[in-house]
Amino acid sequence: MNDQITTDPSKPAQRMRAGSLTLTLAPWIISAVFLAILPQIFTNNSTLTIMNQMSITIVFALAYNMLLGQGGMLSFGHAVYAGVGGFAAMHIMNMSDFFASIPLVVLPVFAGLFGMGLAMIVGSFSTRGAGTVFAMISLGVGELIAACSVIIVAFFGGEGGVSGDRTYAQPFFGVEFLQQIEVYYLTAAWVIISAALMYLWSRTPVGRMANAVRDNPERAEFLGYSARWVRFYSFVASGFFAGVSGGLFAINYEILTEENLNTASSGVILLVTFLGGVGYFFGPIIGAIVFTLLQTVLSLSTELWAIYAGSLFLATVMFFPGGFAGLIMMHVAPFKLGKLRLLIMPYIKTLIPAAIGILGLAALVEMTFHVRHAAAGDNEMTLFWTTFDSHSLIAWAIAGAVTLIGLGIARVTAPSLKEAWDEANTAGGAS
């Protein structure tokens, strides 16, 4: 076999490696630059808060996907590791002498170590299998620790949670993190670092074997790897980065409560990750951005945002199991064939009417909600910058017609979109 290696110097492989190095570095540099200039575009504090929220969710979702997407482990209690990391960070904040001796920027490391420690304990018995048993143990442990939060008041602070003050840390090059923008840059730096480390992890032997164990644990065992240990290492690494996200949360909000580690939060992160797409590394990033926007921006305009988020999740699971990332990557094949432009017109013809129809449907939902829940006599409502009487027949007729016509057109044009899609994915022909 040795002589084959020398007679086959695989030059193409080396060329590819050099090319892929610039290719793999590019997204990171672009992201870093983008995060650096973002505050110049959006200057107000509330936008910064949303962006920080996004960053925290990105780290958490990426950590979660180390289990779900890369390791094939479905966890229903992963908020626990983020939460415990966050609580630990809060306690460090409150240890005034120690806290004054460390810069705030390293606090997430401590949070990560606590998340990791807990993951080591739980992982030691939960990673034996990846299927239902793992999911049930994660759920059980999640509930258990969430229940502990009202029992072990010393650590979890009971119902009021634990609060602290980040500014007591040792100043970092003179920065005391009094201002939101300073916290923004701290969080942004941690997102880039964590995401890069998690990406690198997926390229290491143990990260590659996590995929192998996900696909076929038995075969992996016959390659010399214990499926259980591979899962354990993934679990511990995921616990570390979940803890880091908890530490970032602690720095941003300076308070942690039971909400940070309950099952609802664990459910949200599953939703976020799946929405973005578990099959690709960048999937959870998209999921975190979209979900945070829904949660913050949409919730400003409607009380019913959770219905829309839920519907979106449902639609994703049913029609696009690859999530947003899968949807994007579906277009790589047409792009490589040079046939992407074939899709532009069919997309316009189908997606715009569909979007209008969905907005019409949303209007009907909102009107129903207004009729049922507004104070008696308050018939006036504002929707899409229009103020009208929610009890008037005309408003209902318009919304209903828009819905029917929009979805109707989309339905009629859908077959031609399908045709265009098949054509765009077939090699050959005029292009």
Partner 1 sequence: MSTPALELSGLKKSFGKAEIIRGIDLSIGKAERHAIIGPNGAGKSTLFNLITARFAPTAGTVKLHGENLAGLEPYQINRKGLSRSFQITNIFPKMSVFENVRCALLWSQGYKYSFWNLVSRSRLLTEGADAILEQINLLERRDLPAGTLSYAEQRALEIGITIAGGADVIMLDEPTAGMSNTETDYITDLILKVTAGKTLIMVEHDMGVVFGLADRISVLVYGEIIATGAPADVRADPKVQEAYLGAALEAEH
278 or 288: CB nearest partner 1: 278
d(CA 83, CA 163): 13
Instruction: Tally Cβ neighbours within 10 Å of residue 279.
Output: 15
3 or 422: CB nearest partner 1: 3
Shortest Cβ 197–partner 1 spacing (Å): 10
Backbone φ, ψ for residue 331 (5° rounding): -90, 0
Strand partners, 382: 387
d(CA 277, CA 271): 10
Contact between residue 250 and residue 111 where contact means Cβ atoms under 8 Å apart: yes
Shortest Cβ 216–partner 1 spacing (Å): 5
Nearest alpha-carbon partner for 191 in 372, 183, 83, 341: 183
Residue corresponding to tokens 């219905």: 307
156, two tokens: 């979890």
224 or 428: CB nearest partner 1: 224
39 or 129: CB nearest partner 1: 129
3-state secondary structure of 380: strand
Shortest Cβ 70–partner 1 spacing (Å): 11
228, two tokens: 């259980």
207 phi-psi bin (left φ>0, alpha ψ -120 to 50, beta other): alpha
Backbone φ, ψ for residue 256 (5° rounding): -125, 140
Contacts for 43 with CB less than 8 Å, ≥ 6 apart: none
Nearest alpha-carbon partner for 423 in 363, 306, 333: 333
Shortest Cβ 21–partner 1 spacing (Å): 9
Query: Pairing mode, if any, of strands 255-256 and 380-383?
Result: unpaired
48 or 220: CB nearest partner 1: 220
42 or 229: CB nearest partner 1: 229
Shortest Cβ 245–partner 1 spacing (Å): 19
Shortest Cβ 200–partner 1 spacing (Å): 7
Q: Summarize as ranges the residues that interact with partner 1 (CB under 8 A).
A: 1, 4-5, 8, 10, 13, 17, 20, 200-201, 203-209, 211-212, 214-216, 218-227, 229-230, 233, 237
Shortest Cβ 240–partner 1 spacing (Å): 11
Shortest Cβ 29–partner 1 spacing (Å): 18
159 or 215: CB nearest partner 1: 215
223 or 351: CB nearest partner 1: 223
244 or 309: CB nearest partner 1: 244
Shortest Cβ 207–partner 1 spacing (Å): 7
Q: Which one-letter DSSP state was computed for residue 330? A: T
Compute the 3-state secondary structure of the chain and give helix, strand, coil in percent, each to the nearest 5.
Answer: 75, 5, 20
